[in-house]
Amino acid sequence: MTRSDSEAIRFIQGDAEAQGPEGRCEVGPSGRTDTELLDAYSRAVTAVAEAVGPAVVSVHVGRETPDGNGVEPIGAGSGVLLTPDGYVLTNHHVVREKNRVWLTLMDGTQLGAVSVGSDPPNDLAVVRADGSGFPYASLGDSSTLKAGQLVIAIGNPLGFQSSVSTGVVSATGRGMRSLDHRLIENVIQHTAPLNPGNSGGPLVDSRGRVVGINTAIIPAAQGIGFAVPSNTARHVVSQILSHGRVRRGYLGFSGRQRRLARRLVRFLDLARESGVEVMTLDPDGPAGRAGIVPGDIVLEMNGTPVESVDDLHRLLSEVAVREIARITLLRGAERQVVEVPVAESASRAG
C-alpha cells in the first residue's frame, strides 16, 4: 500500500485533519435542510447539486479494436470522486471485463483512468483518474437514514451528464442479489428516478453527503431504485485501497438451506428450524481439514444461528482471516462443535 493509498483511506474514513476544507463537496448545516417552505426545499436541492455535482463523473468503458489502433466504446455509467487525488467509486458492473476506462468531468474535461480494484459481491469498484486537485464528495453514515428522508441522485442517465433527480428513502435494510448471486444487505430503496447510466452515481442526502451508490432499478416499476449503502462502500473502498481487493473468509465448502425435522429441533432444543447442509467440500480447505464432511448441517457460527447460505456469507464477512470460527453442526442426530481456521479467498463463495 502506497503513501497515497494511505492518505486516500484517511479521507474516506472521515479523518478531518487529512481532509481539510479545500475541495470537499458538502453542504453546511446553516439553513440548508429547512423544509417548511417549498422554496427551502428547492434551495436545499440546488445547494446539493452545486456542491456535489462537480465531484460526479461520467465513466466510459471500452475495449481495444482488433487492429489495436483504437478503442471501441461499449458502455458508460457514473461515478463519484472521493479524494482530491482522483479515486473514483462506481459500480463493478459498469467497469467489469473492460480493458479501457476514461472519465469525463462536469466541465467536459476527459481523463484517463486505471482500475484499482473491484468487489463484485457488493457491485462496487474503484478507479483512479489521472491528475490531482479534484473536487470530491464525502461519504455519510447510511445507518442514520430513515424512510421519508429526502435524497438526491446525481449521474449521467442515458448520456445526459450531471442530471439531478430527487426522491425520498422508501425503505432501508432491503436485500438484493449481486451479479455473482451473493446477497447485498442493507440496500437503500428510494424514489429518485434512475435510468441506465445512473449506475455508479451517488445518492446524496440534504447535507451533500453520499449515503449510497446507485446500482439498480426495476424497469417495469415506477419510483423504485436501489443503492448500495455508504457504510458498505466505505468498508469496500478501504479494503481495496489497502489490499487491492476485499478480503473475505473462506471455509471451503458449498451448501444449501436444509429444513430440520421438528422433532429433532425440539429434542436438541435448537434455536432455528433450518441450517446449511454441506453439499460439496474441498478436502484441502479449512473445513475439510477440520473434519467437516458432506452431509453435515451447519447450525451456528461463533454462537450465531445459521439458517441460510446468506447467513453464512454475512458471518464470514465479519470474521478476520486466520481467526478461528467455532462451527456448531449437526451430524446425524448428534450436535458437534468444530473449530475451523478461516482462510482468505477473494473470489470463492463459502
Q: pLDDT tens digits, residue range 35-72?
A: 456 778 888 899 999 999 999 999 999 888 777 777 88
- Which is the catalytic residue, given 60, 92, 93, 190? 93
pLDDT computed for residue 35 by the predictor:
45
- Which is the catalytic residue, given 85, 123, 205, 311? 123
In the residue annotation, 93 being an active-site residue is answered as yes
Instruction: Give me the domains of the chain, ranges plus CATH numbers.
Output: 1-245 (2.40.10.120), 249-344 (2.30.42.10)
In the residue annotation, 296 being an active-site residue is answered as no
- Say yes or no to pLDDT of 166 above 80: yes
User: What are φ and ψ of residue 161, in 5° steps?
Assistant: -70, 145
Banded model confidence at residue 27, pLDDT cuts 50, 70, 90? low
Rounded average pLDDT over 178-189: 80
pLDDT computed for residue 103 by the predictor:
96
Query: What sign does the CA torsion over 83, 229, 236, 59 have?
Result: negative
Torsion angle defined by CA atoms of residues 127, 131, 137 and 142, in that order, rounded to the nearest 10 degrees: 20
Rounded average pLDDT over 233-246: 90
- Which is the catalytic residue, given 199, 206, 274, 345? 199
- Say yes or no to pLDDT of 348 above 70: no
Per-residue cell: 38: 417549498
CA distance 238 to 230: 12
In the residue annotation, 269 being an active-site residue is answered as no
Banded model confidence at residue 346, pLDDT cuts 50, 70, 90? very low
CA distance 193 to 167: 7
Answer for the pair 213, 125: CB distance below 8 angstroms, yes or no: no
Per-residue cell: 117: 480494484
